[in-house]
Amino acid sequence: TTNLEGQTLGGRYQIQSLIGQGGMASVYKAYDPNLRRSVAIKIIHPHLSNNPEFFRRFEEEATAVAHLRHPNIVQMYDFDHDGDLYYMVMEFVMVETLQSRLKRLNAAKRRLSVKEATSFTAEICDAAYYAHQRGMIHRDIKPANIMLDVNGKAILMDFGIARMVGASQHTATGAVLGTAMYMSPEQIQGLHTDARADIYSIGVTLFEMLSGKPPFEADSAMTLMMMHLNDPVPDLREIHPDTPPELIAITNKALAKNRDERY
């Protein structure tokens, strides 16, 4: 709830403006005078860092994320804490999120081209696969966590955050509509998650890119979760008959309720 604009974090980073806020963190644009560059600083909401396990997980996850080097993953430069404020310093990318692009297109009664949808999906799959090979599952892939840079490249952000705050905390605080819309059935059931949970979330995102809306929509997170568990995936051919059948097959396989049936 506190706006940190105008403050200096860790005796170094000069906070300039708030650029985003979610269920788990706030993001600020800041200036790093040491390296004379703009950076993005993600600050975990303090109430989530009360958990005694939090510090260990924060260090573990942030260290792992800092080692990720991929053109479609946001680069992390540094992480630390200032009092009870835990933060990560990342590259500042001039972007809009995929979420805001989709909203803009919907408002204009337009949708992404098939070429853009497949290109963005391929880039996010590349990023996720790279991380999966290094034992890291994202657990929260959704359009709000995908940035589109000035060259139209898709960049995945927020690796590690879901684990830092813990699965139960994440579900309690983060399973608002925005997150429940993209959650895999096994996450909803509280089962151990692996790379296939990310595949499912990518499938939901691909469905939304192709159709203009996610496969399941409801007024409550609980109803949404039940739909992910029980409802069949809507037929993309009925929504947009011009969708290539190969893409429909890929989307449906990624959205299989049983993770053994996914890629």
Closest of 143, 140, 32, 129 to residue 87, by C-alpha: 32
8-9 and 25-32 beta bridge pairing: unpaired
Taking the CA atoms of residue 173, residue 189, residue 208 and residue 61 in that order, the dihedral angle to the nearest 10 degrees is 60
Q: Is 257 exposed, middle or buried (0-12, 13-18, 19+ CB in 10 A)?
A: middle
| Catalytic, out of 140, 149, 194, 242 | 140
Rounded-to-integer distance, Cα 144 and Cα 87, Å: 19
Task: Judge whether 82 counts as a catalytic residue.
Answer: no
User: Alpha helix locations (H) across the chain?
Assistant: 54-66, 98-107, 114-133, 161-164, 167-169, 177-180, 185-188, 195-211, 221-230, 236-239, 245-254
What the block records as the tokens of 10 is 């860790």
How many of the other CB atoms lie within 10 Å of CB of 107?
8
Structural contact between residues 127 and 70, judged by C-beta atoms closer than 8 angstroms: yes
Known catalytic residues are 140
